[in-house]
Chains A and B, each alone.
Chain A
Amino acid sequence: MKQEGKKKIWADYQKEIADDHFFYVRSCIRQSFFPGSEQFFLHMMRNILGKDVFENPSHTTCTGIGYHSDIVPSQTIMTVVARHFALMKEAGYKNIAISCVTSFGIYTEILETWKHIPEELEKTREYLFKATGREFDIPENMAHTSDIIYKFRDEIAARAKNRLVNKKTGEPLKIVEHIGCHYAKMFPKSGVGGAEFPRVLSGMAETWGGQVIDYPERRHCCGFGFRQYLVQANRGYSVSNTAKKFASMQPYEPDVVITNCPGCNMFMDRWQYTIKEMEGTTYGINGESIPVLTYEELAGLVLGYNPWDLGLQYHMVQSEPLLDKLGIEYDSSDKFKTGDGRQMPVPKNLINA
């Protein structure tokens, strides 16, 4: 495999990413399933990189999951997104930072729609004004939060406490990256590195010392695929897609999977548990499963944060094997304690624990 060929493609897919002053919009499911990611992003941006990031607690879901399930019509989702733009305008911001890949795809699709069909933009302005009395501007800069971390990957590397290297062997960690369908597959120019050989996560991983694996099913769906999961009768199809992906990466013996999209993280994490329960199959070495982290969690480990403060314990596949390779010290008894030291209930059936 020739790295030079990839570099040529990456050069064609560089996007402008704002440097500061972001209006932040959260994800519905990221806050629920791995809440440390968004929290750490805000902490890192504000307190480590010294950036201005503003969020308005009255911003809502983008309704993307409903839209992709044919429940929410396009005019409705455009008006919801327009409301977010109105909140941004009211706060005096022009750069939007989007936490969720589904939302990022939605926002990108809507901006493209408005560009090509300006009458839809005018209709949306009218709907929003009638419903809320608000007005909005189109953002000057729109980035997924992984784009922003990619932009500052060197600054993070400069502050690294842990490189993505196996401390026992000295070898780079083998990393699978998965950007998610809605980051760049619909609009390749909207993603760093495009859709076929994306750079956004691989650029972070390599800058921080890891080695990225390119395996045959790299581009394959994580298994979520919306209807594959949302329609209950299709869930076997969802699991089988995840199984196909993990079977393809297994020979490379990856140490960790990093994901861009909340759905991808959830399904690549949870379905490993399901597949293990269903047929006893695991995909890591020594019968272990492969930890699946978000890029913020990975950045947090690189910067030396406590894995339990980052929320790694809220994944189904536990990260201890990865932490051991990185040489990160941890106390397993602290995993499910609150900040003031009270013990929370310990989930059953966690794997790798």
Chain B
Amino acid sequence: MNSDVIVVGAGVAGMETAGRLAEAGLKVILLEKNEVTGGHVTNWYHLFPDRRPGSEVLQYLESLKVNGNLDLLKGINLEDARKDKNGFILRSSDGDIFYSKAVVVATGFDLFKSERKEEYGYGIYDNVITSADLERKFREGDLRTTGGKLPERIGMVHCVGSRDEKSGNLYCSKLCCVTAVKQAIEIKEHLPESRVFCFYMDIRMAGAMYEELYMEAQEKYGISFIRGKVSEAGESIDNSLIIKVEDTLAGRPLKMELDMLVLMAGMEISRGSQSIGSMLGLETGENRFFRVRDYHIGSNLSNIDGVFYAGSCTAPMNITDTISHARAAVTEVIGYLKQ
């Protein structure tokens, strides 16, 4: 198949990029390894800061696909990608070959595997879940513990796999704090009698209306914010969780009993990104995300002419920034193809 541009990854960044490039009249192939498009948003119940349903953003992205210039191919596993004098050649594991003049890498992020923070016992203790698991519970409308009880005391652990040298991730994933605040509010709305505790290192609310959401969480919903990292979780004989944490502001250790512990999993470069990165020879930074050519004026440019980046394959990003980054990628691709 021939095209002007191949976009790899049909999450938010990929769909936005591909849809906009097609609208501009370019012939676009959008390749997705899964059978569904939309990436991580498909798993999210509500988005921050305004708590609109994730499905609304998906509807918008779906509308971009309706364009004669755009071929969306799902279930595509790329085995090879390279550049020659005529452009780019990508080959799938099924033997399909795709040609283009430019490639946009929009392969996004993977959620940090919370099992790696062994001290929290994710995958072992029944009621230790991740932020993504909690979104699923919201979607299913069932917040009960595995024992069938409505949780009365819930803890939220910020920075799971972020700003954590032991995990090899020194960077901030940017979205976990606001996700914790949003989810804490939603828990209180579902279970007004519950107590919710957020355990944080620093609260990083760098986004439009994030700080306001944080204030609302404290003032309107009475959510407790405790500055300190949870050092370990254990399970007691009645299946409740026992956590140990240091309250660094009060200067004392705490031991608390909880019904549920929610781990705010950070973001890491996706395995898909690593795969295409090694095929094309793309450079990565110390944080293992793709290294952009210029952090100020070239954040869509890779080290290879004709390969562009869109979205969170370059750094943790929220949806707003991802869509902006994707639109910037469109501008860069059009400029490149005009040369």
Which of B118, B122, B125 is A1 in contact with, Cβ under 8 Å? Answer: B125
Question: Does B115 sit at the interface, judged by CB under 8 A?
Answer: yes
* A-facing residues in B112-162 (Cβ within 8 Å): 115, 118-119, 121-126
Question: Does B236 sit at the interface, judged by CB under 8 A?
Answer: yes
Sample (19) of A-B pairs whose CB atoms are under 8 Å apart = A1-B235, A2-B124, A2-B126, A4-B123, A5-B115, A5-B121, A5-B123, A9-B115, A194-B118, A196-B121, A197-B118, A214-B234, A215-B234, A215-B236, A215-B237, A216-B234, A216-B236, A218-B234, A219-B234
Q: Which residues of B contact A (CB under 8 A)?
A: 115, 118-119, 121-126, 232, 234-237, 242
CB nearest neighbor in A for B242 = A216
Question: Does A336 sit at the interface, judged by CB under 8 A?
Answer: no
* Chain B positions within 8 Å of A4 at CB level: 123
Contact with B along A189-205 (1 / 0, CB 8 A): 00000111100000000
Considering the chains assembled together, what is the distance between the CA atoms of A254 and B124 in angstroms? 21
Question: Which of A8, A196, A216 has the largest count of B CB atoms less than 10 A from its CB?
Answer: A216
Given contacts A1-B125, A5-B124, A214-B234, list 4 more A-B pairs with CB under 8 A.
A5-B115, A196-B118, A197-B118, A217-B234
Q: Which residues of A contact B (CB under 8 A)?
A: 1-2, 4-6, 8-9, 194-197, 214-219, 251-252
Q: Tell me how far the C-beta of B54 lies from the nearest C-beta in chain A, rounded to whole angstroms.
A: 28
Considering the chains assembled together, what is the distance between the CA atoms of A235 and B125 in angstroms? 34
Considering the chains assembled together, what is the distance between the CA atoms of A91 and B56 in angstroms? 74
Q: Tell me how far the C-beta of B51 lies from the nearest C-beta in chain A, rounded to whole angstroms.
A: 32
Q: Tell me how far the C-beta of B302 lies from the nearest C-beta in chain A, rounded to whole angstroms.
A: 33
Considering the chains assembled together, what is the distance between the CA atoms of A196 and B166 in angstroms? 14
* Chain B positions within 8 Å of A5 at CB level: 115, 121-124
Q: Tell me how far the C-beta of B239 lies from the nearest C-beta in chain A, rounded to whole angstroms.
A: 8
Whether A1 and B126, one on each chain, are in contact in the complex, defined by CB atoms closer than 8 angstroms, is yes
CB nearest neighbor in A for B241 = A216
Considering the chains assembled together, what is the distance between the CA atoms of A152 and B118 in angstroms? 27
* Chain B positions within 8 Å of A252 at CB level: 237
CB nearest neighbor in B for A244 = B255
* Chain A positions within 8 Å of B122 at CB level: 5
Considering the chains assembled together, what is the distance between the CA atoms of A5 and B237 in angstroms? 18
